[in-house]
Structure 1
Amino acid sequence: MHRRRRTALVLSAVIVAAAPLLTACGDDAHPGAAAVVGGQRITVAQLESRVNEVRRAQKAAVPDQAQYEQVLASTSSLTRDTLHNMVLDRVLHRAARDQGITVTRKEVQQMRGGLLQQAGSAEALETAWLQKYGVAPERLDDNLRLQVEAQKLAQKLGTNTTEPAFWKALSAASEELHVDLNPRYGSWDVQKSSRVDAKTPWVREVTTNGTQLTA
């Protein structure tokens, strides 16, 4: 997955023509860890719990078994994509923290309000985020907080989320955190702040009034 295709909402990237810098960790070095980010483990159990949240929500939204099987087939890479998102969340948070950026609950609610107007209801918004971006309803506000954080980071850097300056900040944060990925889930590209061969979008382009932009 390239950085211009992340899970739900604000970011869109440029292609960087550079050789990837990869780091990985094995089960022996970090038993039970899906990844280690900034010395903090993301355990396999935590990853599985997050994936199960999405699967439960998908099952509830699509009670027909045949349709649910189609959903499973179309999201077969959910575990790896979810881990990618969990790691990148921490990378973005570090980049924002390095710039002294914080996000208030009011800012998150303002963004949610704009999206609610577009969706028509909380249920419709949650369903859309689940179906399009693999975000479970209980994680929606967490995801929106990251979107606000990304927007504020870009503003602080005097750029926008499509420009190299923004992604350079994420790359620096990624390197600071010494991301180690369990090889079973792929490898981490420091320059692109991305799991190698991830495919699920992490962030979508949406304006503050809820209008989706093209990537």
Structure 2
Amino acid sequence: MHRRRRTALVLTAAIVAAAPLLTACGNDAHPGAAAVVGGQRITVSQLENRVEEVRDAQRAAVPDEAQYAQVVAKTGTLTRDTLHGMVLDRVLHRAAEDAGITISRKEVQQMRAGLEQQAGGAEALRTAWLQQYSVAPRRLDENLRLQLEAQKLAAKLGTDTSQPAFWKALSEASEELDIDLNPRYGTWDTQRVGRVDAKTPWVRDVTAGVAQQPA
């Protein structure tokens, strides 16, 4: 369970506090895109929708306004991490495909059943994934499929998800996908397999000033 949790923490997107403040892409090469991965766009709209899914789930789980505001405040500057997670998911999927790894629906169901048993039920698992990894309930099976891909890839490489050999495979997949982020969200470092902030002083991070305000 602990290894699975570590993997989920690495591979999933963080909660975003200020979805309404996401604006149109400033990258002229890919208007409307938050990122381009393997020639496929992740649009600003898709990013906003992913944020809204988490926010709606949080609102349902924490109906008290004061508590909800606290949740928002804790995650007020993590918009870019959401995009990071969405890109990393695609990188992992490419690395798994390159290694000939496939995941069946039955495997996902079996993993979910096992985790539900450990967590104390289906609702407890959904709550844990939302609180710890910012995965909206509707995205749980999708996330578990990625966890299985990560586990199988590591096993095929004779390593685990914390070791250099695993991340080397992800780095190679990153290079294949030729990832291009909107400068608003930084750049993608293929060696580190992660998003890094770009030095763009003219871009103002509008999320920082509203971290205390509920969405």
Scaled by the length of structure 2, what TM-score is found?
Answer: 0.79
Amino acid at match of 2:88: L
Which residue number in structure 1 is paired with residue 213 of structure 2? none
Q: What secondary structure, in the 3-state scheme, does the structure 2 residue paired with 1:42 have?
A: strand
Deviation at 1:77, TM superposition (A): 3.0
Identify which of structures 1 and 2 has the higher relative contact order when contacts are C-alpha pairs closer than 8 Å and 6+ apart. Answer: 1
Aligned to 2:45: 45
Report the counterpart of residue 62 of structure 2 in structure 1: 62
> 2:117 maps to which residue?
117
The answer on 1:106 being equivalent to 2:87 is no
- Note if contact 1:36-1:181 (Cα within 8 Å) is conserved in structure 2: yes
Structure 1 residues 168-177 or 112-121, which shifts more? 112-121
Deviation, structure 1 residue 157: 1.2
* Residue 78 of structure 1, CA deviation: 3.8
Q: Which amino acid aligns with 1:69?
A: A
**Higher helix proportion:** 2
- For this pair of structures, how many residues does the alignment match? 180
Instruction: Say which is worse superposed, 77-86 or 181-190, in terms of deviation.
Output: 77-86
Q: Match for residue 150 of structure 2?
A: 150
Cα distance in 2 between the residues matched to 1:127 and 1:92: 25
| Partner SS for 1:175 | helix
Match status 1:128 vs 2:128: yes
What is the CA–CA distance in structure 1 between the aligned matches of 2:160 and 2:7, rounded to whole Å? 17
> How far apart in 2 are the matches of 1:56 and 1:30?
29
Instruction: Please say which of residues 164-173 and 105-114 is displaced more in the overlay.
Output: 105-114
Gaps of 5+ in 2: 12-24, 198-215
Cα distance in 2 between the residues matched to 1:149 and 1:52: 26
Greater than 6 Å deviation, 4+ residue runs: none
| Matched letter for residue 122 of structure 1 | A
Q: Is the 8 A contact 1:7 1:85 kept in 2?
A: no
Alignment of 1:1-215 (within 5 A): 8=8, 27-196=27-196
The structural deviation recorded for 1:37 is 0.1
CA distance 1:45–1:6, shift in 2 (3 Å): farther
SS at structure 2 position matched to 1:188: strand
RMSD across aligned positions (CA): 1.9
Query: Identity, % of aligned pairs?
Result: 79
CA shift in 2, pair 1:169/1:38, >3 Å = same
* Inter-CA distance 10–52: structure 2 relative to 1 (3 Å threshold): closer
Deviations 1:70-94 (A, max 9, x none): 0001111342111111100000000
